[in-house]
Amino acid sequence: MRLTLCLLKKRPLGYLFRGKYRLVKEVTAKDRNNLINDYAREEENMFYLRHPYLTYEQSQGHAQALKKKEKWLDNFRKAIASGCRSDLRSCFPVDTNSANLAATGSLPIVATAATRSPTI
């Protein structure tokens, strides 16, 4: 009798965890602890967002004091003036960077319609 009940047990149709006849998982202690840890992590992140290390004004002044934008523009202008485009092309030659894409001859070459000789 018990074997029959186990073998003929009905399962919910379709997706098991949705719908009218779904399976509902029990909440375990591990699930509770994971949720508590997630809330604690989120609260800690919100604390750091509410109390930033620098204020907005301080961060603006900090970035301006470093003069990163001016330094980048100076370097960019120097590179353009020295003709860096030709230098970049010489630094990254196509034949060495794409050597792995070269045909090795191991695959048969299939003639396309444009390369076939016309048959008479």
- Give how far the C-alpha of residue 49 lies from the chain's centroid of Cα atoms, to the nearest Å: 24
Return the number of other C-beta atoms located less than 10 Å from residue 103's C-beta.
7
Q: Are 13 and 21 in contact (CB under 8 A)?
A: yes
Neighbours of 12 (CB within 10 A): 13
Q: Give the pLDDT score at 80.
A: 81
9 confidence band (pLDDT: 50, 70, 90): confident
- Tokens coding 21: 């006849």
**pLDDT reported for residue 99:** 65
Q: How far apart are the first and last CA of the chain?
A: 83
Identity of residue 1: M
More confident residue, 118 or 35: 35
Domain ranges of the chain: 14-90
Write out pLDDT tens, residues 53-83.
Answer: 888 888 777 777 888 889 988 988 888 887 6
15-42: pLDDT as tens digits? 888 988 888 999 999 999 999 999 999 9
DSSP string, 44-92: HHHHHHHS-SS-HHHHHHHHHHHTHHHHHHHHHHHHHHTTHHHHHHHHS
Q: Is the pLDDT at 113 greater than 60, yes or no?
A: no
